[in-house]
């Protein structure tokens, strides 16, 4: 069972830095990929924009799936469950993790995803849904309050994406786009819910992306980084993780 927790990717070359080669070595077959949108309101954009983009990213590294399926609210439970059961690769996409959870629950596939035995990749909202806890801290007009819910809890770890900074020391306040993450808020969550991890998909001034990914490989946690990608652990402080070391899930 292989699972990838991602913040995001190099938008021009998502799988071309070695990630695609890992997928090819891990895929049992290329019969079907299933995309799970980050909420019912993301359906049009997923169909028209993101699935074609990811199809091209996969093709660029030599992966072409025979079938491409998208989970949508108009599917019957039987149709959705069959898609998950026959999938070679499932991608939980970005958006709103709570709406994504609601979409999957409405058509009865949360447990099917939990039991899935192929390659599962979640980025942004999708990685949050895969987590032990879905964590939102007050960071924007859209998210003015703490919002913590149970995720699918595959590996006993939780991640918070888009913590994009080139600094070695996590700042007291991190401005990332239109969101502001406060160090004190992140530590407050860790003190109540347990440690969790911050990931990044940071586009630098030189145009390169610093990307960090946590991978669960049959009970072993591994780290994959591109360029100067960083992983931070939040507990009673926020500290950089030594991504050269792997550890076994307890």
Domains recognised in the chain with CATH numbers: 2-243 (3.40.50.880)
Contact 230, 210 (CB under 8 A): yes
3 state DSSP class of 23? helix
**pLDDT tens per residue across all 250 residues of the chain:** 899 999 999 999 999 999 999 999 999 999 999 999 999 999 999 999 999 999 999 999 999 999 999 999 999 999 999 999 999 999 999 999 999 999 999 999 999 999 999 999 999 999 999 999 999 999 999 899 999 999 999 999 999 999 999 888 999 999 988 899 999 999 999 999 999 999 999 999 999 999 999 999 988 999 999 999 999 999 999 999 998 876 544 3
- Within 10 Å of residue 56's Cβ, how many Cβ atoms? 10
Whole-model pTM above 0.85? yes
Helices (H) and strands (E) in the chain, counts: 8, 17
225, exposed or middle or buried, with CB in 10 Å at 0-12, 13-18, 19+? middle
| HEC secondary structure over 181-242 | EEHHHHHHHHHHHCCEEECCEEECCCCCEEEEEEEEECCEEEEEEECCCCCEEECCCEEECC
Tell me how far the alpha carbon of residue 100 is from its chain's centroid: 12
3 state DSSP class of 21? helix
The pLDDT of residue 248 is: 45
Contact 150, 134 (CB under 8 A): yes
């Amino acid at each position: 069972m292989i699972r990838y927790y991602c913040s995001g990717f190099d938008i021009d070359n998502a799988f071309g830095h070695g990630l695609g080669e890992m997928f090819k070595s891990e895929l049992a077959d290329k019969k079907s990929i299933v995309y799970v949108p980050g909420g019912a309101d993301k359906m049009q954009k997923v169909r028209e924009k993101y699935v074609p983009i990811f199809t091209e990213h996969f093709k660029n590294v030599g992966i072409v799936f025979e079938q491409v399926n998208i989970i949508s609210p108009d599917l019957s439970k039987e149709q959705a469950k069959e898609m998950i059961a026959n999938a070679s690769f499932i991608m939980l996409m970005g958006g709103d993790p709570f709406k994504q959870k609601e979409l999957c629950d409405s058509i009865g596939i949360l447990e099917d995803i939990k039991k899935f035995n192929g390659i599962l990749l979640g980025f942004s909202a999708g990685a949050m849904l895969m987590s032990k806890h879905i964590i939102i801290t007050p960071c924007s007009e859209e998210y003015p309050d703490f919002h913590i819910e149970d995720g699918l809890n595959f590996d006993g770890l939780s991640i918070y994406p888009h913590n994009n900074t080139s600094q070695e020391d996590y700042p007291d306040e991190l401005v990332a786009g239109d969101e502001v993450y406060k160090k004190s808020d992140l530590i407050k969550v860790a003190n109540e819910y347990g440690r969790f991890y911050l990931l990044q998909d940071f586009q630098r001034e030189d145009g390169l992306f610093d990307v960090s990914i946590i991978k669960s490989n049959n009970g072993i946690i591994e780290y994959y980084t591109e360029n100067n990608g960083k992983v931070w652990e939040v507990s009673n402080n926020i500290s950089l993780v030594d991504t050269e070391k792997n550890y076994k899930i307890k």
